[in-house]
Amino acid sequence: MGTFAKRIIMCILGVVICGLSVGMFKHAAFGVDPFQALMSGLDAVVPIRFGTLYVIVNLLLLVFSLIMDRHRIGLATFINLFLLGYVVEFSQAQCERLFPAPGIGGRVLLFLAGLVILSLSSALYFTADLGVSTYDAVALVWAARQTRIPFSLCRIATDSVCVIAGVVLCLVSGMGPAQIFGAVGVGTVVTAFFMGPLIAFFNRTVARPLLGLPRE
């Protein structure tokens, strides 16, 4: 199989696996990922439909990527736009069918499995280099331009900014503690600090070897 065919398969597989992991996150109910935490906060204070708000925010990030490093936008970007939501819906429905009322132990296992799978999926489509989601592009562009700062730290920084902004916006909107935890829970914080290093690990041990690239 040629290298380009492998990259396409890695790209599609990465997006599909990503959708499966997000469904697991949602069923675990420990809080959404950092970008969705930001979106939850914005949705609470901006008086427009969530779908419209999501498009606007991603368009702004798309413009940033096109200006700073347009090669980050490609096939994976548009697969994310048109496929990811349906895979998330399928994954969440299957989790609800297989684990209708998970206890705290089951929720923890779902969350941890989702975190590992999400990090693996990100490494696959990052390394395929056929484009990434508009949010993922921010940390990648930053790491490429600030060569002394590794990607894992750039990702921790962008995720942390999203989490902090999401919490502040939720508080400003007057949300109660239970509502805020549903949007920005302990799982969100864990994801913000561990996803970057896990992506770097899977990039080095799985994704790059699949393409015959040297481990960095």
Question: How many whole angstroms separate alpha carbon 132 and alpha carbon 196?
Answer: 15
Lowest mean per-residue pLDDT among 42-51, 115-124, 179-188, 194-203 = 179-188
Phi then psi dihedrals of residue 129, to 5 deg: 55, 40
- Per-residue model confidence as pLDDT tens digits over 14-63: 989 988 998 898 788 888 778 878 888 888 898 887 767 877 888 888 88
Q: Contact at 8 Å (CB) between 31 and 188? A: yes
pTM of the model: 0.74
**Residue 144 confidence class, pLDDT cut points 50, 70, 90:** confident
User: For all residues of the chain together, what is the average pLDDT?
Assistant: 84
Range 77-85, long-range pairs (CB < 8 A, 24+ positions): 77/131, 77/132, 77/133, 77/134, 78/131, 79/11, 79/12, 79/15, 80/15, 80/18, 80/132, 80/133, 83/15, 83/16, 83/19, 84/15, 84/18, 84/19, 84/22, 85/19
- At 189 the pLDDT is 81
- List the chain domain ranges: 3-210
pLDDT for 76 beyond 90: no
Q: What share of the chain is helix, strand, coil (3-state, %, to 5)?
A: 80, 0, 20
Residue 1's pLDDT band, with cuts at 50, 70 and 90, is: low
HEC-encoded secondary structure of 86-123: HHHHHHHHHHHHHCCCCCHHHHHHHHHHHHHHHHHHHH
